[in-house]
Amino acid sequence: MSKLKGKAAFVTGGTRGMGKAIVERLAKEGAMVAFTYLNSESSAQQIVYDIVEAGGKALAIKANGAIQGAVENAIDAAAEVFGEINILVNNAAVAVNGPIETANERAEAYNKQIDVNIRSVAEAVRTAQKYMPDGGRIINIASVGGIRIGSPGMSDYIATKAAVSAYTRGLAWDLAPRKITVNSVEPGATETDMLINADENIRQYLMDSIPLKRFALPEEVASLVNFLAGDEAGYITGSSFKIDGGISA
């Protein structure tokens, strides 16, 4: 496959779950891919090795989205290697759940969610667009929870993801003169580490609410991202795409 051959992509949070699947799919389609990681250096380097062994080009950059300037520096470094950034995927996110009664005790965690889930997304967009030729692609990973909560204790996290979807719509107007499209992908329950390791009662509760009676695979989310990153999606912008097995229907 070579639909993205010659394109340079930057993905935040690319070593696990959806992020890893997105990095691997974009590379499989021919894109040069830079991605960030926080703690999993060995995993990040293994992904790079596998992509290079398959004939591709990849770059892993350590960056903590909770620290202002970290994502900006990472994108600057990627652009120095690749020359430009054609595709930006904002995937990195932090989720901290808990009852409203303990919100004050979780203030630091709340601030981290704001920094990673909203501020670093804006930082990535503002930095990447400087290196993005006309006709580029920006894909933000939001959540179906932005319109359907489904359970208590998620208000802080869901607020940040709803903000990402709203931000996407505004950016679509801002970047339209340059033919840069901006869309969001809103996954439902997906087979990532968080869900795989969840209590069986929680898994069953989620499963019961999904019409298709299964969880999404990270590779399915990556397929949607890959489509939005390609030439065939050139007339799609400012849109939110739910991939949730029908839970929001």
User: What residue ranges in the chain does DSSP mark as E strands?
Assistant: 8-11, 32-37, 58-62, 87-90, 137-141, 181-187, 240-243
3-state secondary structure of 92: coil
Of 157, 167, 205, 235, the catalytic one is: 157
* CA-to-CA dists, residue 25 to 20, 94, 176, 222, 248, angstroms: 9, 23, 26, 6, 26
DSSP string covering 189-207: SB-SHHHHTS-HHHHHHHH
Residue with tokens 């998620």, as numbered in its chain: 154
Q: Which backbone phi and psi does 71 adopt, to 5 degrees?
A: -70, -40
Q: 28 with 1: CB under 8 angstroms?
A: yes
Does the annotation mark 235 as catalytic? no
Kindly list the catalytic residues: 157
